[in-house]
Amino acid sequence: MKLTVNGETRDLDIEPDTPLLWAIREELELQGTKYGCGIGMCGACTVMIDGVATRSCVTPVDGLESAEITTIEAIETDPVGARVVEAWVKHEVAQCGYCQSGQVMATVAMLRENPRATAEDAAYAISNLCRCGTYNAIDAALADLTSKA
Amino acid sequence: MHDHARPTPDTPFPAARTSDLSRLAAAETARIEAAAGAPVKLSRRLFMGAAGLTLAVALAPRASRAQDAAGAAPGASLSAFLDIRPDGTVELRSPFVEGGQGIHTAMAQLVAEELDLDIAAMEVVTAPAGTDYQILGGMRMTGGSSSVRGGHMTMRRLGAAARSMLIDAAAEKLGVPAGELTTRPGEVAHEASGRALPYGELAGAASLGEVPADVTLKQDGFRYIGARVPRMDLRDKSTGKARYGIDSTVPDMLHAAVRHAPRRGMAPEAPANQAEVEAMRGVHSVHLLPDAVAVCAERWYLARRAVEALEISWTEGEAERPMPADFSSAAFRQALDAADGESAEAEAKGDALGALAGAGTVIEATYTAPMLVHGQLEPPSAIASFDADGGLELNMPNQAPEMFQAAAAAMTGLAPEKITVVSPGLGGFFGRHFPYADSNPWPQAVTLARATGRPVKVLWTREEEFLRDAMRPVGHAKFRAALDADGMPVALAADLVGEGPTGRWWGAPPGKDGSAVEGVTGKPYAIPNVRVGQRFVANPAAIGYWRSVGHSMHDYFYESFLDELALAGGKDPMALRRALLADNPRLIALLDAVETLSGGWRPGPYEMEGTTRARGLAMASPFGSEVATIAEVSLDAGQVRAHRIWVAIDPGSAVNPSTIEAQVRGAVALGLSQTLLEEVVYEGGEPLARNFDMYQILSRDMMPAVEVAIVESGAPMGGIGEPGLPGVGGAVANAAATLTGVRARATPLINVDFTSQG
């Protein structure tokens, strides 16, 4: 089947029920998207499908042939994505960093919908888990981003 | 497969066998400082202060470069640690593994400071296994909040020695006395002639020179030590470029997925549909392991699909520590409570038992805390690859390369030097990645690599991880205390019932196992009669180190009980602590700091933003640092919500304030998570939760605003990674008690009905 990831269409020999996460990680060898729980709880696997933040670990590739999939590897080509990355660096958000691809993807998707999203909005819109507890720094980065929106 | 990871008497880290791991770093700091001829109470104030004070540090035996490779003392071989490249960049091989705690940046700061190099020219990698890197009193680990306090002098000496050798090389090249030369970042300068040589051009000649026996460390004008240097990995970790164990590959490797026996000690029977599964897409082979089944495949997701398709029956097998079929966490808690064996003394002053026997007012309480998983977001993985000569390379998340090397040597019969350990960046660790026998995936990888003749990477699903994690043990403490006529505590006795990880893995006997009692021992309060003991009861589950270890629960027990004493004695919790610390200016200053940070001590209850709130206070003395914590809580639909948490931390002196603040905030998040939510429940010998759906961890909407004040008292340097955690439980539970009148003597608080008396 065909899969379009970060603007590039590839023909993959995979089963339709293959989770998108593993097509990305093992077939396309894009390893910035992470496996954390496999049941859509933690959000480490968050990618964008047609601009919508999606848990790729519980999303089968079936039906995605015409979708535009964006992963963390391409996030800086998006103007909002580039700003989010800069804010993440400036506010020293990452600790272990394992969840941060997902946090960045979820934040970019939210800000494209709502450029003035508050920390309160984000607490409801983004359920990505961070075991290092970087939530305060994420909120600081978000406040910085939305104050300029 | 069951005898591999337990250290034997021959393993090269005997110092840790009977002492708490966390104390080793402090001991090593003292040893280095003593060797340096400096006062043992070395402080940053000391070497930042008085002008003219010279701190000469012995750099191990005088050795030429050639000798340096062969048998230098740990931390003394420049070539093991530093590579100054022709382009002027410098590679530092860190003894400590980076897992978000900022240790690579801290090591770079310390080396760059003395080497006189722009930190942007430094690259830090984790060192391979080797005696050169066992700089914590002859051992090496990334844990016990020991890296900076145990490693800072070594790193500074290395930087200073390298700078000295570069100057010597420049002196020869320029034909001037070394005394006329100075350095600017990245180059040696001869001011008199206006000439300068970059480090990269001098490195070759410098490497042939003698490693100086003594070096002089900087005393003032610090550029990096104490500065808010941004962590070096921030951009890679914000753009998906950072690599972890789960991303590691080696050529020609197979991927393996496993299913563990639901109860430790069970063994798989041959699957009814093995042939069918072997024929599934991408599958290489199906393997029965002592307590698991494994499928090797060309892709991990195909291996996982296949292993889940296997029809397995589990039967009683053999295990070093089988889990009883009737084990339940609830029954185990009752057994701990009923245990009446000997209490081995861990700490005593005065005559607590005598004072209690004769006391008028005696307060008693029992506190308990459950087992926890680590819940690091990166699931464990390991790659085992044998080379043609029989050498083994293990590539896996780990906090202690030489310990894994020794364990792998014990399992395989290979000499340790035939085993290479590659230590990738960690996607969280919190104590998860020490050698815990069959709680680590590498033995499976070794077995499968041998069986298939190919390198094998094992990756555990979250579900398999929750079945095999080495958990934070159950904590259970029985307190008794006596109050005098003025309501002041005059005697306190406590028995900690259960088993600690240092006893389990290092053989520390009851009474000597700090991990089983710390946080009830080591409290600073001036109570004249104290006795703390451990009543050992073996825990059938796999137990391990969890961020802040015993402190993660024991300080919550103690600080809650202290608030109970305050209430019984008619004292304010802050006033009682101040009275008990009247002779301890360092801790009075810390209480002042947290009080100021929080806008003044205000226990409440009070109204704010439409909620009724109260505050609680707790202190802790973990890992060489001192901490005072205040939490502000309200009730939200019957559950405790923390709004703000203030932490004053005194680590003696600070290398990177930004990192300290980040670590404290993160430790508060984990401390709050376990206080409010987390609990591993066993029934019928099996854990009920197999993933984050049934095992809730702190989410963004539950995160309080955390404010941090760093107090630099100049005391010997303490740890940073863990100390922010232990104060949280007590502060939150004390606040909840003030708010509701309900005293929570067990975590998680989600199980407590706070509306019953409120």
Residue pair B184/B198 in contact (Cβ under 8 Å)? The answer is no
DSSP B271-334: PTTHHHHHTSTTEEEEEEETTEEEEEESSHHHHHHHHHH----EEE---SSPPPTT--HHHHHH
Out of A98, A101, A123, the one facing B428 most closely (by C-beta) is: A98
Q: Which residues of B are less than 8 Å from A15 in CB distance? A: 281
B233 vs A contacts (CB less than 8 Å): 94, 97
Interface test with B, best of A136, A138, A142 (most B CBs within 10 A): A136
Instruction: For residues B363-390, give the mean pLDDT.
Output: 97
Measured in residues, chain B has a length of 758
Given this model, what pLDDT does residue B55 score?
29
The interface predicted TM-score of the complex, written ipTM, equals: 0.98
The answer for B 278-307 residues in CB contact with A (under 8 A) is: 281, 299-301
Q: Helix %, strand %, coil % for chain A, to 5?
A: 40, 15, 45
A129: nearest CB among B239, B430, B692: B692
Mean pLDDT over the full length of chain B: 91
Cβ neighbour number for residue B485 with a 10 Å cutoff: 9
Give CATH 3.10.20.30 domain extents, chain A: 2-73
pLDDT of residue B17: 30
Is pLDDT above 50 for B333? yes
Tell me whether the CATH fold assigned to B245-320+380-459 matches the one assigned to B330-371+471-751.
yes
Q: How far apart are CA B409 and CA B423, in angstroms?
A: 17
- Residue B496 in contact with residue B516, Cβ under 8 Å? yes
CATH code of domain B330-371+471-751: 3.30.365.10
What's the fold here for domain B14-235? Aldehyde Oxidoreductase; domain 4 (3.30.365)
Q: How far is B177 from chain A (nearest CA, A)?
A: 45
Query: In the beta sheet, which residues pair with residue B620?
Result: B627
CATH number of A2-73: 3.10.20.30
| CB-closest option in A27, A32, A99 to B241 | A32
Q: Shortest Cα distance from B490 to chain A (angstroms)?
A: 39
Asked if pLDDT for residue B11 goes beyond 50, the answer is no
Contact B134, B12 (CB under 8 A): yes
Tokens linked to B475: 């904590």
Q: How far apart are CA B103 and CA B399, in angstroms?
A: 12
Confidence (pLDDT) at B62:
34
Partner residue facing A133 (CB), from B246, B281, B669: B669
Asked if A22 and B100 come within 8 Å (Cβ–Cβ), the reply is: no
Interface mutation target, options B304, B700, B701, chain A, most CBs of A under 10 Å? B700
pLDDT band at B46 (very low <50, low <70, confident <90, very high): very low
User: Which residues in A lie closer than 8 A to residue B669 (C-beta atoms)?
Assistant: 130, 132-133, 135
B378 near A CB under 8 A:
yes
Query: Per-residue pLDDT tens for B186-206?
Result: 999 999 999 999 999 999 999
Q: Do B427 and A98 touch (CB under 8 A)?
A: yes
Domain ranges of chain B: 14-235, 245-320+380-459, 330-371+471-751
Q: A75-147: which CATH number, 1.25.40.10, 3.30.200.20, 2.60.15.10, 1.10.150.120? A: 1.10.150.120
pLDDT at B757 (0 to 100) = 53
Residues A54-80 have a mean pLDDT of: 97
Are B239 and A76 within 8 A, CB to CB?
yes
Give residue-wise pLDDT tens across range B470-495: 999 999 999 999 999 999 999 999 99
Q: Please give the CATH architecture assigned to the domain spanning B245-320+380-459.
A: 2-Layer Sandwich (3.30)
In 3D space, the residue among B635, B641, B646, B638 whose CA is nearest the CA of residue B612 turns out to be B635
pLDDT band at B319 (very low <50, low <70, confident <90, very high): confident
Counting Cβ atoms within 10 Å, is residue B306 exposed (0-12), middle (13-18) or buried (19+)? buried
